[in-house]
Amino acid sequence: MEPHADPPANDAATAAGVAADGLVAALRQEAIRLGFSRLGVARAEPPSRQDAVRRWLDQGFAGVMESWFERQMPLRDDPATLLPGVRSVIMLATDHATKPGGQDAGACEAGRGRVARYAWGDDYHELLRGRVNRLAAWLEARAPGCRTRGVVDSAPLAEREFAWRAGLGWFGKNTMLIDPRSGSFFLLTALLTDLELPADAPVEVDHCGTCTACLDACPTSAFVEPRVLDASRCISALTIEEHGPLAADLRPGLADWVFGCDVCQEVCPWNRHAPGSTDPAFQPRDEGATPSLAALLELDDEAFRRRFAGSPVLRAKRRGLLRSAAIALGNRPHAPSFDALAAALADEEPVVRGAAAWALGRWRQLADGVGERAHAALAARLAAETDADVRAEIERALA
Ligand code: SF4
Ligand code: SF4
């Protein structure tokens, strides 16, 4: 499916006598048979929002993803860098929410953390890569001689803009693409081809209207203005991509999120009637949606890799996930988790030790002897701790 050379743009659809409209209708049917939810076609013209993305980068709003974006930007300017001679970008949406609607907003049971919906089940990259490769093979069989390339997330393609152009939704104030019938809980996949296919019309209407629910609900005030996200404050970026210590002022906002955050989607009225997915790949694994925080803190490296094999949660790395689990316990103390949290003060990773110290500092006010135990655990650790940053965390926690 990968391009091998730079041949001229392909007229296989017409050369083979295949009516392009009929081809897209059949392609749509095949995509749905393979497990995709919707499909739209955009012309493969360079994206028009690159300047806005550059301004966003220059303002420092990409946070920990800045260097990734910097590397990708020159290549994102033109989809032909991914497939020479490309004429059409077929954008595919896959609904992933296994519970329909946004009714899950709010905290889960004490002692448990929350995981963003897309990560409840299997890692979608492999799943969607397999599906898009099968769809590409189908297209190549129907239009012999055409060239294709499937893209799932990792290649430098302005996927959301192409999805908007392909009619898959409008840009909500929460920056997500929202489909008027299906909401925003969907994943994007692209299939590039040198076939000239009829393009769909973009959703030009801003269906957000006067609503500001997502902007108001964001726990860390990560929206600078509608449709402008400061990723350095976004829980999703912080819990998935940032594996070091988190700024103290952002920690309370994490509440019980340990991987990702769905708040600005859960409150969106367009997700109230979103269809649920019955795809087995997205069904929650064992405790996938609300894992026990104490159990997370007890994972060593091998147990972490075993537990999250084939899950998107692996991306957080052990130290990032355990750091977030400790912070979640600091935000919502749960006495039965005390031993796991106190043991995390001696974790091999300084970032986990520091987060456990911060959390236990917040437990010091608790009644029934829990506060005293938290104080004693911190004081004992201070005597043994050699890392300067962790010592500083412990001292602040004891202050
Ligand atoms: Fe805010 Fe969470 Fe949305 Fe990020 S994902 S912008 S933290 S509500
Ligand atoms: Fe738009 Fe309201 Fe949804 Fe935000 S919550 S994306 S403002 S409709």
- In 3-state terms, what secondary structure has residue 149? strand
Pocket test for ligand 2, best of 170, 176, 211, 262 (most atoms within 8 A of CB): 211
CA distance 56 to 58: 6
Q: How far apart are CA 170 and CA 177, in angstroms?
A: 5
The residue whose CB lies within 8 Å of the most ligand 1 atoms, and thus the one to mutate among 174, 214, 261, 324, is 261
Q: Determine whether the shortest distance from the Cβ of 250 to ligand 1 is under 6 A.
A: no
Contacts of 363 (CB under 8 A, 6+ apart): 330, 333, 338, 341, 370, 371, 374
SS3 content of the chain, % helix, strand, coil (to 5): 45, 10, 40
CA-nearest residue for atom 6, ligand 2, is 172
pLDDT in tens, the chain (399 residues): 333 334 444 544 444 445 788 999 999 999 999 999 999 999 999 998 888 999 999 999 999 999 988 888 888 889 999 999 999 999 999 999 887 554 455 668 899 999 999 999 999 999 999 999 999 999 999 999 999 999 998 789 999 999 999 999 999 999 999 999 999 999 999 999 999 999 999 999 999 999 999 999 999 999 999 999 999 999 999 999 999 999 999 999 999 999 999 999 999 999 988 888 889 999 988 888 899 999 999 999 999 999 999 999 999 999 999 999 999 999 999 999 999 999 999 999 999 999 999 999 999 999 889 999 999 999 999 999 999 999 999 999 999
Tell which residue, 225, 195, 197, 196, has the closest CA to residue 212. Answer: 225
- Closest-lying ligand to the alpha carbon of 213? 2
Residue written as token pair 């201070």 = 382
Contact 354, 390 (CB under 8 A): yes
Q: In this structure, what DSSP letter does residue 259 have?
A: E
The closest ligand to the CA of 226 turns out to be 2
* Residue 105: other Cβ atoms inside 10 A: 14
Token pair of 53, please?
């993305």
Say how many C-beta atoms besides its own lie within 10 A of residue 208's C-beta: 21
Q: Is the CB of 229 under 6 A from ligand 1?
A: yes
Q: Tell me, using a 6 A CB cutoff, whether residue 83 lines ligand 1.
A: no
Give the H/E segment covering residue 229: strand 228-229
Looking at the DSSP bridge assignments, the partners of residue 169 are none
What separation in Å is there between the alpha carbon of 219 and the centre of ligand 1?
Answer: 7
Going by the DSSP 8-state scheme, the letter that residue 216 receives in this structure is H
